[in-house]
C-alpha cells in the first residue's frame, strides 16, 4: 500500500509545477522531494511528471491520478489536523514575503512548538482568502487586499505596518542620473511580479492603467527571476523595498528616482474569527511582536 504522505507530496508538486517551490512549502530538500516522487512512481509503476527546464508537467497518467486523489488528500489532511493532539498551522502567503520578512517568526514559533508544523500554501491572495473562509487555511500573511474580496464580518485583517514599492535598476544603469516621469517609463521595460500581485496592481494604478490591460513594456515574472535579470540587464524592476534591504545595502541594486511615488501598502495577516486553537494563537502573538 502506498504511503499517504507520498500522495500529499505529489499533490503539492503538481499544484506548484516546480520542485523548488514544492520543497519550500514542504520544508524538505529538493532531492528529498524528487526521491519521494520517484518512490511513488515505482510503487504505482507509472510516470507522473515530464521534467523540463522550467518545471514539472503532469503526464496523462499523472493528471488522472491528481484528479483522483486531490479532494481525498485535502480531506484526510483536515481530518488529521482535527484529531491530532498537536495541531499544525496552514499558512497562506507568498514565499518572497515569508522568506524575506518573517523567517525569524517561523523560527521563534518552532522553538516553542517542536512537534507542530507550519504548512505553507502559496496562491493568489483571492484564492488564499477563499481558503481561509472555508477553513482550508488558518491564517494568511499578505499585503492588504481590497475588502470586496472577502467577507469582513468573518475574516479580520490585522495590520503590521506599511510596505513600500519602489523602482530599482542595476548599479551601472544610465538611468540613475535621471528623474523619470510616467511618460519616460513608457519607453523602458518594466519587470513586475505576476499580474495578480498587489505590487503590480499598485504600479498599474499609479500609471493610470486598467489592472487587466496588457501593456507591451510591462513584463510579469517571479521575484527571483526579476532580480536576476535586473542585476544584468538595463531594465527597471518594481519590487517591495523591504524585501531587498540586503541587496540595497550591499549595492547590488539601486533605487531609481521618479517624479512620483508609489502608494505605500498596508501589510499584515488575515484570520478567520471562528478558527481558534493554541498553536495559532501563539503564532499570532509572535506576529504581533514583529
Per-residue model confidence (pLDDT) at position 258: 96
Q: How many CB atoms lie within 10 A of CB 100?
A: 16
Domain count, the chain: 3
Per-residue model confidence (pLDDT) at position 282: 94
Per-residue model confidence (pLDDT) at position 79: 66
Does 123 share its domain with 205?
no
Does 7 share its domain with 37?
yes
d(CA 139, CA 271): 5
Per-residue model confidence (pLDDT) at position 26: 77
Does 150 share its domain with 283?
yes
Most confident of 55-59, 138-142, 151-155: 138-142
Does 54 share its domain with 24?
yes
Per-residue model confidence (pLDDT) at position 196: 82
Domain enclosing residue 50, as ranges? 1-83
89 alpha carbon, distance to own chain's centre: 16
Does 126 share its domain with 55?
no
pLDDT band, residue 70 (cuts 50/70/90): confident
Per-residue model confidence (pLDDT) at position 83: 59
Which tops the pLDDT comparison, 260 or 115?
260
pLDDT digits (tens, 9 = 90+) for 179-233: 999 999 999 999 998 888 889 999 999 998 887 788 999 999 888 888 888 888 7
Per-residue model confidence (pLDDT) at position 1: 57
Q: What is the mean pLDDT of the chain?
A: 88
Name every residue whose Cβ is closer than 8 Å to that of residue 196 and which is 6 or more positions away in sequence. Answer: 124, 125, 126
pLDDT digits (tens, 9 = 90+) for 78-131: 666 565 567 889 999 998 899 899 989 999 999 988 888 899 988 889 999 999
Per-residue model confidence (pLDDT) at position 164: 96
User: What's the grid cell of residue 258?
Assistant: 521618479
State what percent of residues in the chain have pLDDT above 70.
96
Does 271 share its domain with 134?
yes
Does 101 share its domain with 224?
no
Tell me the average pLDDT across 247-265.
94
d(CA 32, CA 25): 13
Amino acid at each position: 500500500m502506498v504511503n499517504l504522505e507520498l500522495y500529499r507530496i505529489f499533490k503539492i508538486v503538481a499544484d506548484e509545477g516546480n520542485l523548488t517551490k514544492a520543497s519550500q512549502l514542504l520544508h524538505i530538500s529538493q532531492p528529498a522531494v524528487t526521491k519521494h516522487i520517484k518512490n511513488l512512481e515505482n510503487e504505482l509503476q507509472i510516470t507522473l511528471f515530464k521534467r523540463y527546464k522550467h518545471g514539472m508537467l503532469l503526464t496523462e497518467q499523472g493528471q488522472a491520478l491528481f484528479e483522483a486523489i486531490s479532494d481525498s488528500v485535502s480531506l484526510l489532511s483536515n481530518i488529521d489536523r482535527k484529531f491530532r493532539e498537536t495541531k499544525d498551522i496552514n499558512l497562506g502567503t507568498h514565499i518572497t514575503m515569508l522568506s524575506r520578512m518573517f523567517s525569524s517568526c517561523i523560527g521563534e514559533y518552532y522553538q516553542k512548538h517542536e512537534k507542530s508544523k507550519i504548512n505553507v500554501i502559496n496562491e493568489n491572495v483571492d484564492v488564499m482568502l477563499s481558503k481561509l473562509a472555508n477553513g482550508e487555511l488558518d491564517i494568511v500573511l499578505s499585503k492588504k487586499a481590497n475588502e470586496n474580496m472577502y467577507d469582513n464580518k468573518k475574516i479580520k485583517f490585522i495590520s503590521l505596518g506599511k510596505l513600500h514599492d519602489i523602482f530599482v535598476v542595476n548599479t551601472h544603469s544610465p538611468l540613475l542620473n535621471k528623474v523619470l516621469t510616467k511618460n519616460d517609463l513608457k519607453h523602458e521595460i518594466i519587470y513586475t511580479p505576476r499580474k495578480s500581485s498587489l505590487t503590480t496592481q499598485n504600479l498599474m494604478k499609479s500609471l493610470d492603467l486598467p489592472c487587466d490591460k496588457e501593456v507591451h513594456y510591462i513584463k510579469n515574472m517571479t521575484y527571483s527571476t526579476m532580480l536576476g535579470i535586473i542585476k544584468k540587464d538595463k531594465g527597471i524592476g518594481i519590487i517591495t523595498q523591504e524585501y531587498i534591504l540586503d541587496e540595497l545595502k550591499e549595492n547590488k541594486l539601486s533605487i531609481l528616482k521618479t517624479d512620483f511615488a508609489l502608494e505605500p501598502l498596508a501589510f499584515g495577516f488575515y484570520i478567520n474569527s471562528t478558527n481558534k486553537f493554541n498553536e495559532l494563537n501563539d503564532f499570532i502573538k509572535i506576529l504581533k511582536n514583529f
